[in-house]
């Protein structure tokens, strides 16, 4: 079975753990770990972690393996927690969350699950 992911290579402006959600860094072509549901989420790092100033492959589209930061049920809309892990988006009334996509499988904290990447915004 093929998995036609869109993968691009960036420079890690900070250490990026494997299977975590990243956002744009301070300059074009750079990424940093996502740290909040309000970050402008870009994609998910691959199975290879990157140290500061190393190259970092990021999956921008398709289905990606991602580290869960809590209980996730397949079909949940996912965003990032403070550690760049995928968690269920649950914005407060009138607040916005940026989202990375939809969970393909259920899991719990520490599991490597799957997300169908489709970046966007969700309002509570």
Distances (CA, A) of 89 to 83, 103, 113, 116: 15, 11, 16, 14
Question: CA–CA separation, 23 vs 14, rounded Å?
Answer: 11
Domain encompassing residue 101: 64-123
Give CA 112 to chain center in angstroms.
12
Query: Could you say which of 60, 80, 99 is where a domain stops?
Result: 60
- Contact assessment for residue 68 and residue 114, using Cβ atoms and an 8 Å cutoff: no
Determine, yes or no, domain membership for 1. Answer: no
| Span 20-51, pLDDT tens digits | 999 999 999 999 999 999 999 999 999 999 99
| pLDDT 10s digits, 95-107 | 999 999 999 999 9
- Rg of the chain (C-alpha set): 13
Residues 88, 56 share a domain = no
């Amino acid at each position: 079975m093929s998995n036609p992911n869109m993968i691009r290579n960036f420079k890690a402006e900070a250490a990026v753990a494997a299977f975590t959600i990243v956002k744009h860094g301070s300059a074009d072509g750079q990424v940093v770990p996502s740290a909040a549901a309000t970050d402008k989420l870009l994609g998910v790092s691959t199975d290879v972690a990157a140290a500061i100033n190393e190259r970092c492959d990021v999956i921008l589209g398709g289905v990606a393996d991602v580290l869960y930061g809590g209980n996730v049920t397949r079909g949940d809309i996912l965003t990032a927690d403070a550690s760049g892990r995928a968690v269920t988006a649950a914005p407060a009334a009138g607040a916005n969350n940026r989202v990375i996509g939809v969970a393909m499988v259920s899991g719990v904290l520490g599991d490597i699950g799957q997300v169908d990447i489709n970046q966007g915004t969700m309002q509570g």
